[in-house]
Amino acid sequence: MITLKNIKKSYFIGERELPILKGINLSINAGELVILMGVSGSGKTTLMNIIGLLDKQTEGEYFFMNRSVDGMDDESLAMFRNEHIGFVFQQFFLLPYLNAIENVLIPIVYSKKDIKHPRDKARQLLARFGLAERIHNKPSQLSGGEQQRVAIARALINDPDLILADEPTGALDSKTGNEIMELFRMLNNDGKTVIIVTHDPKLAQFGKRLIRIEDGTISEDKSN
Amino acid sequence: MGLSLKINQIREFLEETLKILFYYKTRVIFSLSGVALGILSICIIITTIDGANKKAYEIFETLGPDSIMIFGGSERQRMARERVNTLTYKDAESIEKIEGIYNITKAYSVRGITFRYRDRKWQTNVIGATENYFDSYKWNLYMGTVFGRQDMENVEPVCVIGYKVYEELFKGEDAVGKTILIGKLPARVIGVLEERGGAAGGPNIDDRVIMPLSTVTAKLSNEKRYLGVIRVKTTRDVDATIEDIKAVLRRNHGIVGEQDDFTIRSSRDILQFMSVISGSLFLFLGTASVVALVVSGFVLANLFYLTIQERKKDIGIRRAYGASKKGILLSFLFESVFITFLGGIIGILLSLLLEGVFEKLFDIPMEFSMKVVVFALLFSCLTGTLSGLKPALKASRIEPIEAIRG
């Protein structure tokens, strides 16, 4: 589903080049559940941002569903993200002035897909995640685990091909974190492709494939 | 893409905007009230100027474009409201002989006379006038009749009262045929004039009593030589006629090269005077409202600018989920215009509400129209666009990764 060919990314501090990714070659197929693991500063977040089309590589080629995405302008990238990728973040990033169901519906505002009855769909997703009673609550009235579930429902509302989660358990206690990971496993069992970026070794057990990033390169790539 | 989808998205977008505004209510209230005040003053300017112009046009219409008024006293003395008797009956006779002049009305008024009817009292001016007064002012009657040549010749103690005087003395009762005391002179009311309403800033035009000129000179003023005002109409060019009148009066009064001791006004002068008034109103209120709008625009821009930082994550998440730079720019701009538009509507409503109060307070007629609404909303949207542009640009330039990282 995605193919990265010799992806390099550098930041420039004045004249000095600071290489973050030093040539990543990676292929991820539809239906995989990948844990992208690395310590802070390894380049895993930069890699995730490139995969999520939030950032652009300095060198190399990126194909999403056999389509090169390198030459896209801001507008088409935004549409592409909307259509194909669902994001989940460590800090949930729910909008404080919207309630749970309204937060779930955010991607719909920008969507060109013809999602039938988005409100009903959002309600079903929230109910499936055990939040049927919470759909009209504001984020401030929800626990961390509940907020992250709302965020996952938001990632799913527009039927994306890929779920991209950045440290989804980082702000949660380990029990709640495990519940969230189980949720990702359930989604993967339903056929979703899921990539989870983390520094936490304990999460390795939840994936079907583990990719370890060290110092801007892939140091380990194993399936279990 | 189906139409229903698009409509759904727009509805969702509007709902979200409303929720955002509600969430940041302090900012919204500040900006809103500033804009509302600015728009309020713009509305007042436009309605007042329109009202003044309408009034001026009405006066012009009633006087007729061909009428000329001659007063005693120089321009300067008139400005100081000094009363100087210089116009004589002889002057009137000379003016009557000028080519093209017709319908000459002579008048002499006595100020501050007390009127009594039963136990009611009212103080105002009596205008002694020739019988064509009502005709040349195109003044219709509310009840009764006016006096004629016969009354003039017989020095009849009769009077026609203005609507204001009628209200004060008779409070809606039938006045015709009743006798009132004018100073010490008993006079019969024969008619009541139709209400005309106050002129812009001027004295109440309905607060007057008109009697035959002969009666006033013989029984109230004891003034047989001088006249207060002479009004004429002309079939010739107004300016040329004015020159002729000037020449005649200067000769009669023996004025050579010095300042005239009389003042001549045409109805065009009244129009000009009114346009000067509206001009200064426009300048004064215009400056005030522009200042109000600029200040509220700045407040809006700054408060908006501050919240961008707070809303970085908001922007990041929207960008991640499909909002383009342009989309962010437009939604922030929309938010700002929405606030000022709302402020505009509040301003318009306030001006409608205050219209009556202003009219009573300053005696300024106001003319509310669609033009006001269009102008006000245009200005408020302009304020919103201008003050929202910089913050919206800043918001759109925030990169999603930078926003998400915090």
Q: Take residue A77 and report the two structure tokens written for it.
A: 């990238």
Q: CB–CB of A93 and B325 under 8 A?
A: no
| CA distance, residue A224 to nearest chain B CA (Å) | 31
Of the candidates A54, A77, A106, which has its C-beta nearest B318's C-beta? Answer: A106
Q: How many domains does chain A have?
A: 1
| A213 domain-assigned | yes
Q: How far is A36 from chain B (nearest CA, A)?
A: 18
CATH number for the domain harbouring residue A127: 3.40.50.300
Count of CB pairs separated by less than 8 Å, A with B: 79
Q: Per residue in B125-135, pLDDT tens?
A: 999 999 988 88
The pLDDT of residue A64 is above 70 = yes
In angstroms, the CA B71 to CA B50 distance is: 29
Quick check: B404 and A89 CB within 8 A? yes
**Residue A157 confidence (pLDDT):** 93
Q: Could you tell me the pLDDT band of residue B198, with boundaries at 50, 70 and 90?
A: low
Residue A17 lies in a domain: no
- The percentage of chain A sitting over the pLDDT mark of 90, rounded to a whole number, equals 80
Tokens 């437009």 sit on residue: B330
Residue B285 contacts residue B48 (beta carbons within 8 Å): yes
Confidence of residue B375 (pLDDT cuts 50, 70, 90): confident
Domain positions in chain B: 17-58+273-405, 85-260
- Give residue ranges of B with CB < 8 Å to any A CB: 1-2, 5, 8-9, 12-13, 15-16, 19-20, 22-23, 313-314, 316-327, 399-401, 404, 406
Q: Which residues contact B298 (CB under 8 A, 6 or more apart)?
A: B387
Nearest CA in chain A to B8: A109
Greatest distance between any 2 Cα atoms in chain B: 102
- The partner residue sitting opposite A82, judged by closest CB among B2, B322, B400, is B322
In a domain, A7, yes or no: no
Q: Is A64 domain-assigned?
A: no
Burial profile A10-46: b = 16 or more Cβ within 10 angstroms, e = fewer: beeeeeeeeebbebbebebeeebbbbbbbeeebbbbb
Classify the phi-psi angles of B256: left when phi > 0, otherwise alpha if psi is within -120 to 50, otherwise beta: beta
Q: What pLDDT does B334 receive?
A: 92
Whether B321 sits inside 8 A of A87 (CB atoms) is yes
Inter-chain contact A107–B321, Cβ cutoff 8 Å? yes
- What pLDDT sits at residue B3? 62
Closest-CA residue in chain B for A49?
B401
**B274 CB-near residues (< 8 Å, 6+ apart):** B52, B53, B55, B56, B59, B200
**pLDDT one-digit tens code per residue, A135-151:** 999 999 999 999 999 99
Question: Which residues in chain B are contacts of A105 at CB distance < 8 A?
Answer: 12
Of A81-95, B33-47, B153-167, B330-344, minimum mean pLDDT range: B33-47
pLDDT (average), residues B17-31: 85
Q: Which helix (H) or strand (E) holds A25?
A: strand A16-28
Which residues in chain A are closer than 8 Å to B396, comparing Cβ atoms?
none
- The pLDDT of residue B162 is above 50: yes
Q: Which of B227, B110, B95, B201 is nearest to B159 (CA)?
A: B110
> How high is the mean pLDDT of chain A?
92
Q: What is the pLDDT of residues A159-195, one digit of tens each?
A: 999 999 999 999 999 999 999 999 999 999 999 999 9
* pLDDT bracket for residue B200 (50, 70, 90): very low
Element (H, E) at B39: helix B25-63
Mean pLDDT in residue range B195-214: 75
Q: Do A97 and B23 touch (CB under 8 A)?
A: yes
Complex ipTM value: 0.88
- Is A35 a member of any domain? yes
Phi, then psi, of B33 in degrees rounded to 5 = -70, -35
Q: Which residues of chain A are at the B interface, by a Cβ-Cβ cutoff of 8 Å?
A: 49, 52, 54-55, 74-75, 77-79, 81-83, 87, 89, 91, 93, 95-98, 102, 105-112, 114, 118, 154
Predicted local confidence at residue B201, as pLDDT:
47
- Range of weakest confidence among B174-178, B179-183, B201-205: B201-205
Name the residue of chain A whose CA is nearest to B18's CA: A97
Q: pLDDT tens digits, residue range B25-82?
A: 887 888 888 889 888 888 888 887 777 777 777 777 777 778 888 888 887 777 776 7
Contacts of B15 in chain A (CB under 8 A): 102
Give pLDDT, residue A7: 94
Residue B1 pLDDT grade (very low, low, confident, very high; cuts 50, 70, 90): very low
For residue A41, give its domain range: 31-56+73-223
State the best of A9, A20, A82, A106 to mutate against chain B, taking most chain B CBs within 10 Å.
Answer: A106
**Neighboring chain A residues of B401 at a CB cutoff of 8 Å:** 49, 54-55
As a whole number, mean pLDDT of residues B312-322 equals: 89
Asked whether residue A68 is domain-assigned, the answer is: no
Residue B202: pLDDT over 60: no
